[in-house]
Amino acid sequence: MEIWLDVYIALMSVIGIYAMLNVLLNIIYLKIMGNAEKKVEGPLISVVIPARNEENNIGNLLDSMISQTYRNIEILVINDQSTDRTGEILEEYRKKDSRIRVYSTDPEKKLHINGKINALLQIMPEARGEYILATDADTIHKADCISYAYSVMDAHSLDIISGFPKELCDSYLGNICMSAMMLTTVFIPQWFIHRFPIPAASFAIGQFIMMKRSAYEETGGYEKIRGQICDDIGIVRLFVRCHKKYSLVDLSKHSACLMYRTAKESFKGIERSIAGVIPPKPSMILPAVVAIAVIIHIALSPAVAIILAAVCGTSEKVLMMLLGAFLFVAAWFIACKAFDWQKRVSISSPFTLLILSAMYIHGLFRGLSGKGFEWKGRNIR
């Protein structure tokens, strides 16, 4: 029994040390990648926006796009069968700025099971830019956002980039669900993946994906990710498999997103994203059980360390586990603060990991049972 306890303590300590080192290296890497002189002139950039029932958001997004310091852009919005005032608002903005072009999805064309990918497939042929920025209707971009993104891509000869905007959800539980995305910074060595690309470890956020048009065409683009639950994970992994240069970048100071307004929306949305990263299929049950067990142990490690200290005293082994638990919580805090999350979210890593486990278990059940997932009122199986 003592041997297993020693192994457990050693493992929790190593995880904490790794998390801290990895977060610090990732932050340094992201700062280096973002250290590019901003350009306000360059090739045409096509901004592609799928919009479905976005009357509360689309105006703010278009205002932010019209105000970009990088002027050589075209703004293509595809109204995806909206039943609210989205269409009327789009028409108003089309008249306001000649760079805005508005389209509608053809309900007879079912190019993909995912409504968003279906809309993207219908709008992408209309894009004329040398670069393409796919962004969501619930995002808002600072005036230098496109300039920053283009400059980073140009300076580092990248084919595709993505990153985390600042999340604007007012709900604490909603933010907790969304902050599970910080796993990509705490556990995934972005500094290593950039140099030695691994498709399964490559991530993107659909709120902001910028691509070289030539690379998109060479890979086959969204046409090649049929059957994928998520457009962002599908497209970035396609690019990496096709040996295109990819990087995650820090967008939290340049872009913001009101992705979900409530905890329920956030839970359902993030569990769909998790299913896009780790497909819910029978072969994944055993790996999922192992992964969830590890995540729960990491979440509970601070409490376990304190209990061990109370029961066994502050021995060298207990101090090691306390150090590991502290380093992991501190690493999570540093990662969250680097991406501008609220302080109360940044210190909640144990709670976040427990919610993450619940989201994956629930998502696995929905996937295996055939219930599927929802996006904008549509079911994705």
Q: Which of 84-88, 247-251, 304-308, 357-361 shows the lowest per-residue confidence on average (mean pLDDT)?
A: 304-308
Query: Domain check: are 258 and 121 in the same one?
Result: yes
Query: Domain check: are 225 and 299 in the same one?
Result: no
Query: Domain check: are 311 and 259 in the same one?
Result: no
Choosing from 234, 265, 296, the residue where a domain stops is 265
Q: Is the pLDDT of residue 111 over 70?
A: no
Highest mean pLDDT out of 7-11, 96-100, 355-359: 96-100
Choosing from 205, 230, 265, the residue where a domain stops is 265
Write the DSSP string, 324-335. HHHHHHHHHHHH
Confidence of residue 149 (pLDDT cuts 50, 70, 90): very high
Q: What is the pLDDT of residue 272?
A: 82
User: Do the domain assignments include residue 257?
Assistant: yes
Q: Which of 69-83, 277-291, 358-372 shows the lowest per-residue confidence on average (mean pLDDT)?
A: 277-291
Q: How far apart are CA 53 and CA 376, in angstroms?
A: 8
Query: Which range of residues forms the domain containing residue 109?
Result: 30-265
Average pLDDT over residues 107-124: 84
More confident residue, 380 or 262: 262
Q: What is the pLDDT of residue 353?
A: 94
User: Do the domain assignments include residue 13?
Assistant: yes
Choosing from 265, 287, 317, the residue where a domain stops is 265
Q: Is the pLDDT of residue 39 over 70?
A: yes
More confident residue, 46 or 14: 46
Q: Is the pLDDT of residue 340 over 70?
A: yes
More confident residue, 8 or 355: 355
Confidence of residue 370 (pLDDT cuts 50, 70, 90): confident
- Residue 356 CB partners (closer than 8 Å, separation 6+): 180, 183, 274, 295
Average pLDDT over residues 10-23: 92
Query: Domain check: are 98 and 22 in the same one?
Result: no
Q: What is the pLDDT of residue 349?
A: 94
Query: Domain check: are 16 and 121 in the same one?
Result: no
Q: Which amino acid is at 143?
A: A
Q: What is the pLDDT of residue 112?
A: 65
User: Do the domain assignments include residue 302?
Assistant: yes
Q: Which amino acid is at 173?
A: L
User: Do the domain assignments include residue 156?
Assistant: yes
User: Do the domain assignments include residue 343?
Assistant: yes
User: Do the domain assignments include residue 271?
Assistant: no
DSSP 339: T
In total, how many domains does the chain have?
Answer: 2
User: Do the domain assignments include residue 66?
Assistant: yes
Average pLDDT over residues 59-76: 97
Q: What is the pLDDT of residue 322?
A: 84
Q: What is the pLDDT of residue 1?
A: 52
Query: Domain check: are 261 and 210 in the same one?
Result: yes
Query: Domain check: are 343 and 375 in the same one?
Result: yes
CATH number for the domain that contains residue 217 = 3.90.550.10
Average pLDDT over residues 140-161: 97
Confidence of residue 280 (pLDDT cuts 50, 70, 90): confident
- Of the chain, the percentage scoring pLDDT greater than 90 comes to 64
Confidence of residue 273 (pLDDT cuts 50, 70, 90): confident
- Of the chain, the percentage scoring pLDDT greater than 70 comes to 96
Cross-strand bridge partners of residue 248: 162
Average pLDDT over residues 355-374: 83
Q: Is the pLDDT of residue 376 over 70?
A: no
Give the global pTM. Answer: 0.90
Beta strand residue intervals within the chain, DSSP E: 45-51, 73-79, 100-104, 131-135, 139-141, 160-164, 166-167, 208-212, 246-250, 255-257, 373-375, 378-380
Kindly report the number of other CB atoms within 10 A of residue 97's CB atom: 11
Query: Domain check: are 78 and 139 in the same one?
Result: yes
Query: Domain check: are 132 and 176 in the same one?
Result: yes
User: Do the domain assignments include residue 270?
Assistant: no
Q: How far apart are CA 212 and CA 104, in angstroms?
A: 24
Query: Could you report the per-residue pLDDT of 204-263, keeping only the tens digit for each?
Result: 999 999 999 999 999 999 999 877 778 999 999 999 999 999 999 999 999 999 888 899
Query: Domain check: are 202 and 290 in the same one?
Result: no
- Residue 325 CB partners (closer than 8 Å, separation 6+): 12, 16, 301, 302, 304, 305
Query: Domain check: are 236 and 309 in the same one?
Result: no
Q: What is the pLDDT of residue 255?
A: 96
Crossing angle for the helix pair 231-241 and 263-277, nearest 10 degrees? 20
Query: Domain check: are 90 and 167 in the same one?
Result: yes
| Residue in 296, 320, 318 with CA at minimum distance from that of residue 308 | 318
Query: Could you report the per-residue pLDDT of 165-204, keeping only the tens digit for each?
Result: 999 888 999 999 999 999 999 999 999 999 999 998 998 9
Q: Is the pLDDT of residue 66 over 70?
A: yes
Average pLDDT over residues 345-352: 94
